[in-house]
Amino acid sequence: MGWLDSLLFEAGAFYLIDRGYMDFARLILIANAGAFFVTRAKCNLQFTRHYSMPVDRFTGLRSDHVGKPTLEKSRTSFPVLLRRVKYYDSETVKEFVFLTNNLEIPALTVAMLYKMRWRVELFFRWIKGHLRIKHYYGTSPNAVKTQIWIAITTYLIIAILHKQLQLPGTHHRTLQLLSVHPFEKVTLNELLMETDHRSFINYNPNQLNLFEL
């Protein structure tokens, strides 16, 4: 959690935090800075409800409670009011419990904010699975961002090429073929288009055999 301790929290900003980083002694630092957090509650969280707010269950919301941590150690670390929102996600068929120190925004907004964090996580998972960046030539923040954007741009150009030319096979096949093309003495058209090997079965080159059997 060292990186979290080094952050300077901006007042009014929202910080979406994985539940692996959920620690009341650190979360109170966000609250004291005038900022807000949204995180997932751990399974063993003990919570004392002070009051409840109405929810629309048709939106996936199950409950919206305001209270404080039950355990004395947690309550001492986080003495201010805490909000617990339960949400059922129909896409994953799972129920999630979110915690936030913002008592004003709609409960559904709390769930949607964290869902946006999932999209960021899926984006980076997509980068790992599709761009196959083996190493970075520069390690500064600007260098890393530049290399990722170059890789994404290259990927999208090839995706557009694959679709517009209606190339056979999958997009992954086209990427693999182009990755080895610099070492092949064939045209792109020959490289990317599939050839029916059966057309060569009866092919007569009109050339004598070098060795007669």
pLDDT at residue number 149:
86
Helical segments of 129-170, H only: 141-164
Least confident of 38-52, 102-116, 170-184: 170-184
pLDDT of residue 90 exceeding 80: yes
CA–CA dist 213, 197 (Å, integer): 26
Which tens digit of pLDDT belongs to each residue from 175-201?
766 666 666 666 666 666 655 545 445
pLDDT at residue number 2:
61
Which tens digit of pLDDT belongs to each residue from 9-48?
999 999 998 888 788 999 999 999 999 999 999 989 999 9
Q: Among residues 137, 161, 158, which one has the least CA distance to residue 148? A: 137
Distance of CA 113 to the CA centre of its chain: 14
**Encoded tokens for 200:** 């060569």
CA–CA dist 161, 123 (Å, integer): 22
- 205 burial class (0-12, 13-18, 19+ CB within 10 angstroms)? exposed
Q: Is the pTM of this model over 0.75?
A: no
- Residue 210 contacts by C-beta under 8 Å, 6 or more apart in sequence? none
Q: Are strands 94-100 and 36-40 parallel, antiparallel or unpaired?
A: antiparallel
